[in-house]
Chain A
Amino acid sequence: MALSFDSDFLKKLEYLHVVSKKAFAGQARADRLAPKRGRGLEFADTRGYSAGDDFRHIDWKAYKRLGRLLLRLFDEEQDLPIYLFIDASRSMEATEKFDQARRLAAALCYIGLAHLDRVTIMPFDETVREERSAGQGKGRIFRVFEQLEQMQTGGKTNMAESFKLFAARGRRQGLAVIISDFLDPGGYESALKVLQARGHDVYVVQMASEADRDPGALGDVKFVDTETEVVRDVEVTPTLAAAYTKAWEEHTEELARFCGRYNIGYVRADVERSVEEIILQTFRQGRFVA
């Protein structure tokens, strides 16, 4: 799959930025407020001078008025660590979910790079595969495209194991975006909780397709699990098909409910919709980008 966006769309993306509910400490100067005071341009507060403070920040006007040495404090503007977890398990390869996930990841990368955020792409299946840092600056987007194009599906989904492994690496806190269909036999709850427990601001992007909701084939069918190759004989009656559709809807609602309960951002991205529509409408409505 070749990744590319037209210039109009890219221009629109540049006006957006990824919203984080928390302020995280970054590594480099950027245009996002950090939780600490530093050498930014925005005045934040004053404090008493201590030995060793930079003379240049002493508020001389206040000294003349109050007779005390006060030091002017500024907000530190730093980059935001964004971790893009892309589900690269086999369940994603059907119905263009993986392609759409890569397009979304590319778009989010571009938004992050445009705002000098530190974006890291982390494909996962049973574990987190090789993580790739996109760097900073929107000029790096072509490298990101190349990385995403080379990404392949394979293996089973195991979010809990993957995210535990990520948590164990002791990465800086940041925005964790999980793009997945959340069809994990082991469940997604503990995995999301692990990320949240590590102080990351977690966003969930559920990839969905009409084909997932509708079983399609009716009558006697041998369903083969793409990930496990397990075969199950099912006689799909209209009743059973309706029950399946209902189960899928419940699965989606359950995920949305879980995210709501744990203050996790949630948006659903249908493969039938265009990336532009998802980014500019769905993500904005979900306050994922602004």
Chain B
Amino acid sequence: MSFGAMGGWQAWGLLALTAGVLTWLFYMKIRAPRVRVPSLLLWAKVLDAEREVTLWERIRKTVSWIVIMITGVLLMLALTRPAPSVVAAGGGRRLIVIDSSWSMGTEMPSGGTRWDRAIAQARTLIAASAGDEVALATTADGLIEGPTTDSVLLEASLDRLAPAGGESGDWPQLADVSVVHFITDGTIPRSIADLVASGARVNVDPVYEAASNVAITAFETQAGSGPDQQAEGYLELANYSAAAQPVRLVVTRGTASVADTSIELAAGEAVRQIVPLGLSGDARVRARISARDNALAIDDEAVAWISGAEPLAVTVVSDAPGFLQVLFERTPAVKATFVVTADYAKPRTGPEHVVIFDHWVPAEATAKPSLFVSPATEGWVGKLVTEKSPMWTTALAHPVLRGVDPYTVTLERARAVESDAWTPVARSAIGTPLVSVAETPEHRRVMLGFGFSESESNIALQPAFPVLLVNAIEWLARPSMGEQVRPGVVSLDAVVSRLTSPDGKLVEVTRFGDAHLARITAPGLYLAEGGGMRSALAVNVGDPQVSNVGRTSLAQSQVAGAAGDAANAPWWPVLIAIAFVCGLVEWWTWHRRITV
């Protein structure tokens, strides 16, 4: 026998003390008060008369005392929470690992979620391990608490936990562990070979109960490729149920509903849908499903961000925009504003995602993403270098140069700057930087070492011209966020310095070498900012691996055991309830003078 709230001797001592105090209080309660009466004459008559004492009158004191003792003992048991020892005592260190994958949020037919049952199971284990060191871990977060003998600390940690993914996380590492309890539903199979190899005894505590679910297992969007083409959303819905059921699908773009339909899904069926999202509108797209047999809620909603849904605002600072003006008039994805160099310092209204400096460099550096075209002067941008008839020979793989064919470009004159801040991604044969980029958490810049006039190059007449310009503007204004992102540790574009969750909280971004990492624990649309640009990161949970909550990798015997584990529910509230009832009975009977 061990106790969840304290050591064994403390609990037994407290129990004995309680019994003693209750007995003393009972006798204090029944201690006769002195009542002065005018005369005992009539009492003597009453008492001297023969009167039949009923059995209840004889035993009611004892019954009252027993009820009080039961009440006290029940309260003490609820407080000390005794449990049969699950492991022989010996001071072994125990590790409780809770599977925190999203499938643990599944509502079970018997009530509650798998997570609730896992937490209850963990509490039972903590209670049964009183006196031994216990550490608490989840598959998503690793070690959470301990090792410690302080069960209150562990209980408090349990209260803070919630499913957070971690399907592919490593096992938490802890030295000198004698027993590992892994509480899981087995939906995401995990090998316990590493744990076993560490020499610890591994107990798998299943919390699985079969359930039906409907999920969005994939969701992506794509902007229309032309001005007359709609954006589209690609959806995959799956019915992980033994029966066919209708599924209602609602897709919204911003606040506008773009689809609201019901789809009949057969048992085990997965369907793919293409949803037209309209020619224009908000970049935020949200898909939501609802169905009858739907045990897991986290995969019922998916979000996406249509990159390019909103045209980029570009300011061209040039005294002779020439080909740039022609190009942007034909590019709907870019909304250009032309400003002469003399007016650059004047205030401008409206958004300004990218600034293009054509043959001119401002006196002071700007924090906005900037494209410099054949800078005419040196200064803060670097040292000016020139070359006549440069040959574009070397190029690095960079998003700015994606799809640009240098062999079609003939350059008459190169004029670029060199400094440590710039990284050349394309050079001439003698090393003159033709295309350079600068990237810091504060800004992004692109430098083209050639102009677009006929006297400088022929690029304006080549297919490479729009490709290069749009690439540069996209790279400057919209950092790449990759494809579908799942909760967990996410690698961000190097320029992202600030990440905001859907509920407005800042997510810590950690720089690890050249990579920027963030740990995302909940799905939704995250706002990414940095280097003067803003973008969004769509994080979804839907995954056939997670959403198919009707299967498990656990052995059938373990599953059967888990299904009957209603007894694992915390029993101390029941004790308190019984104690309350006993107290109520005692109070009521005492006031009715049935007991003493």
- Please give the residue numbers on chain A whose beta carbons come within 8 Å of chain B beta carbons, in ascending order: 90-92, 94-95, 97, 157, 181, 183-185, 212, 215-228, 230-234, 237-240, 243-244, 247-248, 251
Contact = CB atoms under 8 A, between A and B. Distances in A.
A223 B40 contact: yes
A226 B39 contact: yes
A185 B43 contact: no
The 7 closest A-B pairs by CB, nearest first: A91-B38, A183-B39, A220-B32, A225-B40, A222-B32, A222-B34, A247-B42
B38 A212 contact: yes
B42 A218 contact: no
Nearest to B47: A234
Nearest to B591: A218
A223 B38 contact: no
Nearest to A156: B39
Given A224-B37, A230-B40, A233-B32, A244 B46 contact: yes
Contacts of B49: 243
B596 interface: yes
A248 B42 contact: yes
A70 B82 CA distance: 117
12 contacts: A95-B38, A157-B39, A219-B32, A220-B31, A221-B33, A222-B34, A224-B36, A227-B39, A239-B51, A240-B51, A243-B49, A247-B42
Given A185-B41, A215-B37, 10 more contacts: A94-B36, A157-B39, A183-B42, A219-B593, A220-B31, A221-B35, A228-B40, A240-B51, A243-B51, A247-B45
Contacts of A247: 42, 45-46
Contact of A181 (B32, B38, B57): B38
A217 B593 CA distance: 11
A217 B37 CA distance: 11
A168 to B, nearest CB: 27
Contacts of A244: 42-43, 46
B555 interface: no
Contact of B47 (A181, A184, A232, A239): A232
Nearest to B52: A239
Interface of B: 30-47, 49, 51, 57, 593, 596
Contacts of A92: 38
Contacts of B35: 216-217, 221-224
B232 to A, nearest CB: 84
A232 B40 contact: yes
B63 to A, nearest CB: 14
A88 to B, nearest CB: 13
A240 B47 CA distance: 8
A219 B43 contact: no
B53 to A, nearest CB: 9
A79 to B, nearest CB: 36
Contacts of B41: 183-185
Nearest to A157: B39
B38 A234 contact: no
A228 B38 CA distance: 10
B37 A220 contact: no
Contacts of B57: 237, 239
A217 B596 CA distance: 12
Contacts of A239: 51, 57
B30 A219 contact: yes
B33 A226 contact: no
Contacts of B36: 94, 223-224, 226
Nearest to A181: B38
A95 B42 CA distance: 17
Contacts, number: 87
Given A220-B30, A222-B33, A91 B47 contact: no
A72 B402 CA distance: 160
B42 A94 contact: no
A157 B41 CA distance: 12
Contacts of A230: 40
Given A232-B43, A234-B47, A244-B46, A220 B38 contact: no
A229 B33 CA distance: 15
Nearest to A185: B41
B43 A224 contact: no
B81 to A, nearest CB: 36
A221 B39 contact: no
A218 B590 CA distance: 10
A94 B522 CA distance: 77
A238 to B, nearest CB: 5
A248 B44 CA distance: 12
B46 A91 contact: no
A1 B151 CA distance: 68
Contacts of A157: 39
Contacts of A220: 30-32, 596
B593 A237 contact: yes
Nearest to A207: B38
Contacts of B46: 240, 243-244, 247
A180 B24 CA distance: 44
B30 A225 contact: no
Contacts of B593: 218-219, 237-238
Nearest to A243: B46
A34 to B, nearest CB: 40
B379 to A, nearest CB: 101
Nearest to B45: A247
B405 to A, nearest CB: 105
Nearest to A224: B36
A11 B492 CA distance: 107
B586 to A, nearest CB: 14
Identify which of B33, B34, B46 gathers the most chain A CB atoms within 10 Å of its CB. B46
A112 to B, nearest CB: 28
A268 to B, nearest CB: 16
Contacts of B42: 183, 244, 247-248, 251
Nearest to B592: A238
B556 to A, nearest CB: 62
A215 B37 CA distance: 9
Contacts of B51: 239-240, 243
Contacts of A184: 41
A219 B40 contact: no
Identify which of B32, B39, B42, B596 gathers the most chain A CB atoms within 10 Å of its CB. B39
A58 B156 CA distance: 121
Nearest to A90: B38
A240 B49 CA distance: 11
B516 to A, nearest CB: 77
A184 B30 CA distance: 32
Contacts of A183: 38-39, 41-42
Contact of B33 (A185, A217, A225): A217
Contacts of A95: 38
Nearest to B49: A243
A244 B41 CA distance: 11
A221 B40 contact: no
A221 B43 CA distance: 12
Contacts of A91: 38-39
Contacts of B44: 232
Nearest to B31: A220
Contacts of A225: 37, 39-40
Contacts of A237: 57, 593
Contacts of A248: 42
Contacts of B31: 220
Contacts of A217: 33, 35
A193 to B, nearest CB: 20
Contacts of A231: 34
Contacts of A218: 593
Contacts of A226: 36-39
